[in-house]
Amino acid sequence: MCGIVGYAGHRPAIPVVVEELHRLEYRGYDSAGVACVQQGAFRVVRAQGKLSALEQLLSEQAPSTATTGMGHTRWATHGAPAVRNAHPHLSNDASLALVHNGIIENYLEIKKDLAARGYVFHSETDTEVLVNLIQECHRTEPDLRKAFARALSMAHGAYAVCLMSKDEPDAFYAARMSAPLILGVGTGENFVASDIPAFLPYTRKVVFLEDGEMVRVTSSSFAISRVQDLSPVDYRVETIEWDVQAAQKGGYRHFMLKEIFEQPKVLSDGMAGRLLEDAKGVRLPELDGLPVPSRLSIVACGTSAHAGMWGRHIIEALAEIPIQVEIASEYRYKEKLLFQPDEMVLVISQSGETADTLAALRRAKECGAKVLGLCNVVGSSIAREADCVLYTQAGPEISVASTKAMCSQMLVLTLMALYWGERKQIVSEATRAACIETLLSLPQILEKELPSMHAQAKVLARKYAQARNFFYLGRGHCYALALEGALKLKELSYIHAEGYAAGEMKHGPIALIDSAFPTFAICLADELLPKVKSNMVEVQARQGKVIAVTTPGVDLPADDLWIVPDVPSFMSGFIVLPVLQLFSYEMADYLGKDVDQPRNLAKSVTVE
Ligand code: AGP
C-alpha cells in the first residue's frame, strides 16, 4: 500500500513532507516523490528506490521556499516500480498534481476516453488517469472543489488522494474511499497522511476522514465536505496517545496482529477489479492470452507452499486440472522435469525473492514449461521472470511470519479455479454464483469474527502454554491448513508442532500421544467429519488433549471446542486460517517471544 502525505503550514514544506514519508517507510515502497508550487509552476521530484535517492536529488537543487506540499511512497500495484510511474503525477496541462493510494478499477475505460480527447499518458498508472480526469472536469467546472468531486464520483474503486493546483499554491485537497486518510490539526499548520505516524511529532490532534469525504486544507483552515454533494461534514478532533512506533502498528501490539486483522481488507482488495459486473464471473486478464493448463505443478516454500496445497483442492474440484504441489527446494534439483503439452508451473511467493522458488522457476523455464507467478511484491525477481504474473495486492507484509499473504494467495487461487473452470465450461452457473457470493461475504464475516477469535486464542494459548509438542490434524484442504498451523506455532513460539493428515495418525505418529502432547484438530462439518472425529477419539483414548476447530452444532469429543462460523466448502479455509494464526500469535506473545522477528528467521529467504 502506498503512503501519501500533505502539508500546509509555516515551515518549508518539502523537508516536512520528506520527514513524514520517512515515518511511513515501514509500509514498504519502491519509489517516492514530492511536489510543491514555486513561482506559479509545479516542482515535482521523483526517484526510484529508497527515500535516500529522493533526498539526493533534492540536495542537488535549490531548496524550495514553498510552505505547502505533498509527497508519496509508492507500493506498486499498476505499473512496474520506475520513475515514470512514481507519484506525484501531473495533469497534461501541468496545472494539477496528484498522489494516490488505492486502485481505480475503471481506469482503463477512463484512460481510453481521455486519450480520445487528446490526452497523453507517460506512465502505466491509474493515478495519472485520475489527475487528467480532474483536469478534464475542471475544464468545464471552474470551481476545483466541484471538478475534483465530479472526477472522484466517476472513479470506481479505492482511493486516498491528495491534489494540488498551481493556481492555489497555499492549499491542497484530499479525499478518501476505502483507503485510510487522516487529517493532522496543528497550530498554524495542517497535515494529511495515510497513517498517523507521519505527522505525530507535529501534532496529536487528528480528524479521521470517512469514506466519501473530501477536504480543502490551508495552513490555518480545513473544510470537510461530502464528495457526493459537497455538503459540509461535522467532524470530531481526537487526540492520539500512541508513540510513533505504536502508531505504525495501528495501535496493535505487533505487526503480525495488525496483518491478521487486515485480512478482511486483503480479501476485498484481492477481489477488486477481478469480479465481473453483478458477480457474473471472474476476470483475470493476465491469463487471457494463455491456454488453460492441461496439468499444473505448484511450486513454493513454507507458508506459500501450504497455500498451494490448499489451492490444489479447489482448482482440481472446480477446474478439473490435475495438480501436483512441490516444495521448491526439492523441485529445483529433481532428476528430470517432464512436461506434457500445455502443462504449466505456478510458483507462489509473497516476497518474490525466495531463492529456492526463483531457482525452481528458472529450472522449469529451461525445461520448456510456461511459468506463472503469484506474488505480492510488484516488480520482484519472480514477478519479472515469470511468463505471466498475478499479484495478491495484500500490501506489504512486515511481520516475518506470513499471515495475510496466505489469505491473499488462497483468494487468488480460488479465483483462478473459477476462471479456468469457466473457460473449460465445467463450472455451473449455480456453483459459480455460490462461490462468488461466499467470497464476497468473507470480509464482513471475518471483520465480525476476528475479535472473538482473538479472545478465544488468548484463553487457549494460556491453557496450553506448558505444551512442548503439538499435533495439528486435518483432512482434505484442512490438511494444508493443519500444516500451516503447525508451521506458525513452531516458528513463533518455538514449540515443536507437527502438521499431519489426520488419517495418517494410526500409521505411527499416534505413538507420540500422551497427556503432554495435545492435538489441534480441524473438524469442519463436511463429509470427512466422521473420519476426523474418530481420529480425535483415538487421541483422547491415549490421554491426549484435543482442541477442535469446528462449526456450530457439531458434537465432538474435544477438551476444548473452538466454534467458527459455518462457511460453505473450501471457503471455510478463510475462517480457519486466522484461528490458527491467532492461536500461535497469542502463544508466542504469552511466552514472551519476539513475535515480529522470531529467532533464526528472515522475511525473505534469498539464499539457499
Ligand atoms: C512463513 O511464516 C515463513 N516466514 C516462511 O515459510 C515463508 O512463507 C517462506 O519463506 C516463503 O516465502 P515467500 O512466500 O516470500 O516465497
Q: Convert 1-47 into a string of H (helix), E (strand) and C (coil).
A: CCEEEEEECCCCHHHHHHHHHHCCHHHCCCEEEEEEEECCEEEEEEE
Amino acid at 46: R
Residue 561's region, left for phi above 0, alpha for psi from -120 to 50, else beta, is: beta
Atom of ligand 1 nearest to the CA of 403: 2
Atom of ligand 1 nearest to the CA of 351: 15
Three-state SS sequence of 358-369: HHHHHHHHHCCC
Binning the chain into helix, strand and coil, the percentages to the nearest 5 are 40, 20, 35
Amino acid at 54: L
Atom of ligand 1 nearest to the CA of 487: 2
What pLDDT sits at residue 583? Answer: 98
Give every residue of the chain whose pLDDT is below 70, as ranges: 1, 78
Q: Which residues are catalytic?
A: 2, 603
Mutate to test the pocket of ligand 1, among 301, 349, 601 (most ligand atoms within 8 A of CB): 301
The DSSP string of 386-423 is SSEEEE-------SSS--HHHHHHHHHHHHHHHHHHHH
How close is the Cα of 324 to the center of ligand 1, in Å?
19
> Length of the chain in residues, anyone?
608
Nearest CA residue ID for atom 16, ligand 1: 349
How close is the Cα of 350 to the center of ligand 1, in Å?
7
Nearest CA residue ID for atom 7, ligand 1: 302
Whole-model pTM: value is 0.77
Mutate to test the pocket of ligand 1, among 354, 407, 594 (most ligand atoms within 8 A of CB): 354
Atom of ligand 1 nearest to the CA of 400: 4
Contacts of 241 (CB under 8 A, 6+ apart): 204
What pLDDT sits at residue 326? Answer: 98
Q: What is the dihedral of CA 55, 57, 63, 68, to 10 degrees?
A: -70
Atom of ligand 1 nearest to the CA of 491: 2
CB 23 within 8 A of CB 244: yes
What pLDDT sits at residue 30? Answer: 86
What pLDDT sits at residue 26? Answer: 75
How close is the Cα of 332 to the center of ligand 1, in Å?
17
Mutate to test the pocket of ligand 1, among 309, 351, 400, 600 (most ligand atoms within 8 A of CB): 351
How close is the Cα of 366 to the center of ligand 1, in Å?
24
Atom of ligand 1 nearest to the CA of 301: 11
Nearest CA residue ID for atom 4, ligand 1: 401
Atom of ligand 1 nearest to the CA of 602: 4
Distance CA 46, CA 32 (A): 6
Q: Is 154 exposed, middle or buried (0-12, 13-18, 19+ CB in 10 A)?
A: middle
Contacts of 50 (CB under 8 A, 6+ apart): 32
Contacts of 6 (CB under 8 A, 6+ apart): 17, 69, 70, 71, 162, 172, 174, 191, 192, 193, 217
What pLDDT sits at residue 24? Answer: 87
How close is the Cα of 258 to the center of ligand 1, in Å?
18
Atom of ligand 1 nearest to the CA of 402: 2
How close is the Cα of 256 to the center of ligand 1, in Å?
14
Q: What is the dihedral of CA 525, 531, 535, 538, to 10 degrees?
A: 120
Distance CA 605, CA 353 (A): 7
How close is the Cα of 122 to the center of ligand 1, in Å?
36
Mutate to test the pocket of ligand 1, among 406, 481, 604 (most ligand atoms within 8 A of CB): 604
Q: What is the dihedral of CA 541, 460, 578, 2, to 10 degrees?
A: -160
How close is the Cα of 400 to the center of ligand 1, in Å?
8
The candidate with the shortest Cα–Cα distance to 392, out of 446, 443, 354, 349, is 349
| Residues flanking ligand 1, CB < 6 Å | 301-304, 349-351, 354, 357, 400-402, 491, 601, 604-605
Alpha helices in 403-528 (DSSP H): 404-423, 429-463, 477-493
How close is the Cα of 306 to the center of ligand 1, in Å?
10
How close is the Cα of 109 to the center of ligand 1, in Å?
37
Nearest CA residue ID for atom 6, ligand 1: 302
Distance CA 487, CA 496 (A): 9
Sheet order of strands, 343-349 included: 323-327, 295-300, 343-349, 370-375, 388-391
- The percent of residues above 70 in pLDDT, for the chain, comes to 100
